[in-house]
Amino acid sequence: MPQLAIETSCDDTCAAVLDGGAVLSSIVSSQEAHSKFGGVVPEVASRHHLELISPVIEKSLSDAGVGLDDIDSVAVTAGPGLIGALLVGLSAAKAIAAPRHLPLIPADHLHGHVAANFLEPDAIEPPFLCLIASGGHTLIAGVTSHEGFEILGETLDDAAGEALDKGARLLGLGYPGGPALEKLAAEGDAERFEFPVAMARDPGLDFSFSGLKTALAYRCRDLGDSGTEEARADLAAGFQAAVVAQLVAKLSRAIDAGRWPTVALGGGVAANGPLRAGVTALCKERGLRMKLVEPALCTDNAAMIGSAARFVEPIRYPDYLGFDAFSTGDRR
Ligand code: KG4
Ligand code: ZN
């Protein structure tokens, strides 16, 4: 029987229908409203989730060719994320599950990004190394089971996506900045401006991205308005190259530190072409298997939540009625 999965942890309203590891439908409604603010405004996100959640769920069901009475469980992101946004998805999940006495399965958002790699076709099995780079998190996960992962290294300050979003904003691009920056960078010369690759000499597996936006801000100040305008594509290319270089360097170090047969990616930044190319080249050089999930499953979606939920103990009706979402921390 199919499962309905719901994800509303940030600014994308997402629902999917799965049959085991097969995705029958996956709907993502990205909220345009945040673009003019240059970042996600939590209250605006919650209000939009409220408006979008029902139509998004209905579309996921109709695209899968099923009705609510065909669903045998409801998976939902419990955290981490924006608490007001999470509560919209959780409330919708309870409202669908409770009257039908269906089990509810709470999933961790980061586990979801890892679990996108367990979806058909071409599902991979643990053990593997997984770089998760998104707007809120950047970490290297050692995945030895379907149920969870060990954090081998993580960012000490900004996430990679956050850095790209802030860099894009400095260059006058809208939110989300990552895809816009990638597009602009494709026309630029990454060699013209050098940006610092932080933590390069640090022996550990942690990341740091907060110095990059300062470096870009100083560059823009030195170039002045017209100089920045003329150099925008080159600045974008150099900035993106520095983010990618750090991610690839730390992944390379993690590969050396263990015996991982396979490397996978997850999170919105994993949709980035130069990062995918860099990690592919790295895996080729080391003779490792590379798993690249399609870009639509890298950015936030509910199919990955349904995938993670397959490895989580369901909560039976009515025990989940008082179940709460969590904004930060780890409840895996
Ligand atoms: O995983 P995600 O959709 O949401 C979070 O869990 O944060 O990641 C969103 C982040 C944003 O910072 C966005 O700019 C970045 O992923 N992103 C990209 C690309 N697509 C999304 N960054 C670089 N290149 C892309 N193509
Ligand atoms: Zn995410």
Residues 6+ apart with CB under 8 A from 265: 130, 131, 132, 133, 275, 276, 279, 291, 292, 293, 298
Q: How far is the CA of 134 from the centre of ligand 2 (A)?
A: 6
Q: How many other C-beta atoms can be found within 10 angstroms of the C-beta atom of residue 37?
A: 12
- DSSP code for 318: T
Q: How far is the CA of 59 from the centre of ligand 1 (A)?
A: 24
pLDDT at 330: 53
Q: How far is the CA of 161 from the centre of ligand 1 (A)?
A: 5
Written as one string, the DSSP assignment of 226-294 is HHHHHHHHHHHHHHHHHHHHHHHHHHHHHHHHS--SEEEEESGGGG-HHHHHHHHHHHHHHT-EEE---
pLDDT at 227: 97
pLDDT at 245: 97
pLDDT at 175: 85
Q: Which of 40, 134, 301 to mutate to test the pocket of ligand 1 (most atoms within 8 A of CB)?
A: 134
pLDDT at 174: 86
pLDDT at 311: 98
Residue with CA closest to ligand 1 atom 2 = 268
Q: Is 16 helix (H, G, I), strand (E, B) or coil?
A: strand
Task: Write out residues in the chain with pLDDT < 70, as ranges.
Answer: 329-332
Question: Minimum-distance ligand to the CA of 28?
Answer: 1
pLDDT at 95: 98
Closest-CA residue to 45 (of 15, 13, 75) = 13
pLDDT at 9: 97
pLDDT at 332: 41
How far is it, in rounded angstroms, from Cα 201 to Cα 224? 32
- Closest ligand 1 atom to Cα of 162: 12
- DSSP code for 53: H
Residue with CA closest to ligand 1 atom 3 = 299
Residue with CA closest to ligand 1 atom 21 = 268
Residues 6+ apart with CB under 8 A from 163: 209, 210, 212, 213, 243
